[in-house]
């Protein structure tokens, strides 16, 4: 598994569905560089079980992301047409109607490969035929990207393990606090908590007060 933290987030142009039902060609994260932080997350498939709980949870807290000037973008290996159908299916029928943030179509699986979250790989069998080993879907990867397009945080869960939107917001707060104040954020830091200066004296002071 590649560690992308500290590196430029891989850019792409792909089909996407935005605002709950509008098709967009050549959607790219590049539009946010210099303007917004980005939470870019992968999920395995449309019309599944854990995935809608995560996607709807992100939508339910979009106001908190928007307040922090953060764009939220989802991505799976489904087509834009599958995304559209799922976005137009009622929640009580397994859909995610009401979700407005962009869902990117990674039908070719190249975006998942570039972010190294594809849960399998192509290989050749003994007969020399190409086959896919593993699951041809993305793990639950999440990448926090700053305004310069640099990945500052990543977490990758296995397929059955849902993520925490609360923890994602905490990491956004920590990054933005550091960018604005220069102080670093110690263990279990939340907005409003004490931070510390990143030197020996700063650590000693923090530990003596806590």
CA atoms within 13 A on the CB side of 110: 7
Burial class (CB in 10 A: 0-12, 13-18, 19+), 42: buried
Q: How confident is the model at residue 206 (pLDDT cuts 50, 70, 90)?
A: low
149-196 tens-digit pLDDT: 999 999 999 999 999 999 999 999 999 999 999 888 888 889 888 888
CA distances from 141 to 42, 83, 88, 121 (A): 5, 18, 25, 16
Please tell me which residue, 24 or 120, carries the higher pLDDT value. Answer: 24
Backbone angles phi and psi of 55, in degrees to 5: -60, -45
- Residue 76 corresponds to which tokens in the numbers above? 């799976």
Triad 56, 60, 63: Cα angle to 5°: 140
Residue 31: its pLDDT value, please? 97
41-62 tens-digit pLDDT: 999 999 999 999 999 999 999 9
Catalytic residue (choose from 51, 117, 119, 185): 51
11-25, 105-119, 162-176, 182-196: range with lowest mean pLDDT: 182-196
Q: Tell which residue, 138, 143, 101, 146, has the closest CA to residue 118.
A: 138
Rounded average pLDDT over 189-205: 76
Q: How many CB atoms lie within 10 A of CB 207?
A: 10
Q: Check: CB of residue 70 under 8 Å from CB of residue 179.
A: no
Q: Tell which residue, 131, 143, 135, has the closest CA to residue 159.
A: 135
Q: Tell which residue, 15, 12, 202, 196, has the closest CA to residue 103.
A: 15
CA distance linking residue 210 with residue 205, whole number of Å: 9
Q: State the chain's mean pLDDT as an integer.
A: 93
**Is there a catalytic annotation at residue 51?**
yes
Q: What domains lie within the chain, and their CATH numbers?
A: 14-161 (3.40.30.10), 164-210 (no CATH)
Instruction: With a cut of 80, say whether residue 79 has pLDDT above it.
Output: yes
Q: Check: CB of residue 154 under 8 Å from CB of residue 145.
A: no
């Amino acid at each position: 598994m590649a560690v992308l933290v500290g590196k430029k987030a891989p850019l792409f142009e792909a089909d996407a569905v935005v605002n709950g039902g509008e098709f967009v060609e050549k959607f790219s994260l590049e539009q946010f560089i210099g303007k917004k932080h980005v939470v870019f997350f992968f999920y395995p498939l449309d019309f599944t079980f854990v995935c809608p709980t995560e996607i709807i949870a992100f939508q339910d807290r979009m106001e908190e992301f928007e307040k922090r000037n953060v764009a939220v973008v989802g991505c799976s290996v489904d087509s834009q047409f599958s995304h559209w159908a799922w976005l137009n299916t009622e929640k009580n029928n397994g859909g995610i109607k009401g979700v407005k943030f962009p869902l990117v179509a990674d039908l070719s699986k190249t975006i998942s490969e570039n972010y190294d979250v594809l849960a399998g790989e192509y290989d050749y069998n003994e007969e020399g035929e190409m086959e896919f080993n593993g699951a041809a879907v993305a793990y639950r990867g999440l990448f926090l990207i700053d305004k310069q397009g640099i990945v500052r945080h990543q977490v990758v869960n296995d397929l059955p393990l849902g993520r925490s939107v609360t923890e994602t917001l905490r990491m956004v707060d920590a990054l933005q606090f550091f960018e604005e104040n220069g102080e670093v954020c110690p263990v279990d830091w939340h907005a409003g908590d004490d931070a510390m200066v990143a030197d020996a004296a700063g650590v000693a002071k923090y530990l003596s007060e806590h």
